[in-house]
Amino acid sequence: MNGRERAVAGKAEARTAHAARPWEKNIRRVTPYVPGEQPQGGRLIKLNTNENPYPPSPAVREVLKAMEPDMLRKYPDPSASALVNALAGYYGLNPEQVFVGVGSDDVLGMAFLTFFNSDRPVLFPDVTYSFYPVWAELFGIPYETCPLNADFTIDPLDYDRANGGVIFPNPNAPTGCFLPLRQVEEILRHNQDVVVIVDEAYIDFGGESAVSLLGRYENLLVVQTFSKSRAMAGMRIGYALGSPGLIKAMQDVKYSYNSYTMSLPSILAGEAAVKDEAYFRESVEKIIRTRENAKRRLAELGFTFPDSKANFLFIRHRTVGAKELYDALRSKQIYVRYFSGPRVSDYLRVTIGTDGEMEELLRFLEEYLDAPAKRGSRQK
């Protein structure tokens, strides 16, 4: 047998061996969530993953500096009681109404696993956080999507039908649209036989939280995060607020899966961040001012967008395609988020950065849009 024949025979054997692996039929096959790109390097402008452009509270730095290495030798408090108590005090709740996890994704995934166990479909918007269908498929949960209105707002009447649960972000992602509290309550009134989850990752940048409704609706779960307004995405801290019955159910599932989910540094840093209210408010207000200025400047450049109440804008140019702009920005080390799915392929999601970062973005867009001969613009 010559070399070519051996190679062909080897490939045939490999195919046969691969086909004969009986354990492969039991592997769970899922379409995973695709996180935003995390570019590396010095001089770049990163506006693609909705991170806070400012550092966390100085109190966080101090508590981490004060940690002794020996403190990491033992398991952390599985109940994260220091952080739970701090959050309960901040919101005027009992500790039994607070659940914490490793980022809001961990909290939301635990909530899907705990509460969405009906044969009826869970309902969420068609344009929304793309992890929702991933969790539903991973856990074998039936679901249906409710189309957003033409202006990307949620219609509460779409959720007035039989279902196995409801979840939606408020403000929504990636649109930034905020659903007024009276409409959130309308959804709750029509769904008192299932758990309704309001995902408030961006609530601190505009709008009124559904936390004020917790006393009236025992089936309401409000989920928030430290990754956005508190500038602690790297610490992975998320939490849920709800009735003691809902929180106890989530704790039972958590302790059946992994009791030590949150690290000691995260617990202590999170507690410190909650207690520094002044810094938190100052940081959020800076981002809101920058967002409102960016809205004005982008409109002058021919962009349209929903009225975002989040720390990002969902922008569309009247004549230049989103993918073209995305590629042009990326070539200059300016990173924004492009989605290729239905209804959103003409839009870019732009995180609000510092004033300096936004100025560089706007300057580039202004120059690019003024040079049609160089870019080959297209009319819609």
Residue 31 has pLDDT above 60, yes or no: yes
Q: What is the mean pLDDT of residues 282-308?
A: 98
Domains of the chain: 45-53+278-375 (3.90.1150.10), 58-275 (3.40.640.10)
At 191, the amino acid letter reads N
> Residue 52 pLDDT more than 70?
yes
Q: For residue 371, what pLDDT is reported?
A: 80
Instruction: Find all residues with CB under 8 Å of 350, minimum gap 6, and list them.
Output: 47, 294, 312, 313, 314, 315, 336, 337, 361
* Beta pairing, strands 98-101 & 238-242: antiparallel
Tell me the per-residue pLDDT of 149-167, one tens digit each, with 9 for 90 and over: 999 999 999 999 999 999 9
Question: Averaged over 105-120, what is the pLDDT?
Answer: 97
DSSP secondary structure letters along 259-304: S--S-HHHHHHHHHHHH-HHHHHHHHHHHHHHHHHHHHHHHHTTEE
Across 63-80, average pLDDT = 95
Q: Indicate whether 16 pLDDT > 70.
A: no
Say whether pLDDT at 12 is over 60.
no
Confidence of residue 380 (pLDDT cuts 50, 70, 90): very low
- Predicted pLDDT at 92: 98
What confidence tens digit (pLDDT) does each residue in 335-352 have? Answer: 999 998 889 999 999 999
Nearest alpha carbon to residue 233 among 351, 332, 82: 351
Return the percentage of the chain with pLDDT > 90, whole number: 83
Burial state string for 174-197 with b = 16 or more CB within 10 A and e = fewer than 16? bbbbbbebebbbbbbebbeebbbb
pLDDT band for 5, please (50, 70, 90 cuts): low
Q: What pLDDT is attached to residue 115? A: 98
Q: In the predicted model, what is the mean pLDDT of the chain?
A: 92
Is pLDDT at 375 greater than 60 in this prediction?
A: no
Q: Where are the alpha helices (DSSP H) in 139-275?
A: 181-189, 244-257, 264-275
- Specify the DSSP class assigned to residue 354: -
Give the residue from 274, 297, 287, 290 showing the smallest Cα distance to 363: 297
Beta-carbon neighbour count of residue 165 at 10 Å?
Answer: 25
Query: Residue 379: which pLDDT band, with cuts at 50, 70 and 90?
Result: very low
* The predicted structure's pLDDT at residue 43: 81
Answer yes or no: are the C-beta atoms of 199 and 223 closer than 8 Å: yes
Q: What is the 8-class DSSP label of residue 119?
A: S
User: Tell me: the pLDDT tens digits for 175-219?
Assistant: 999 999 999 999 999 999 999 999 999 999 998 999 999 999 999
Q: What is the per-residue pLDDT for 24?
A: 84
Question: In the prediction, which pLDDT does 122 show?
Answer: 98
Confidence of residue 377 (pLDDT cuts 50, 70, 90): very low
- Does the pLDDT value for residue 40 go beyond 80? no
C-alpha–C-alpha distance, residues 137 and 370, integer Å: 45
pLDDT of residue 126: 97
Q: Does residue 373 surpass a pLDDT of 70?
A: no
pLDDT in tens, 235-247: 999 999 999 999 9
Judge whether 316 and 377 are in contact, CB under 8 Å.
no
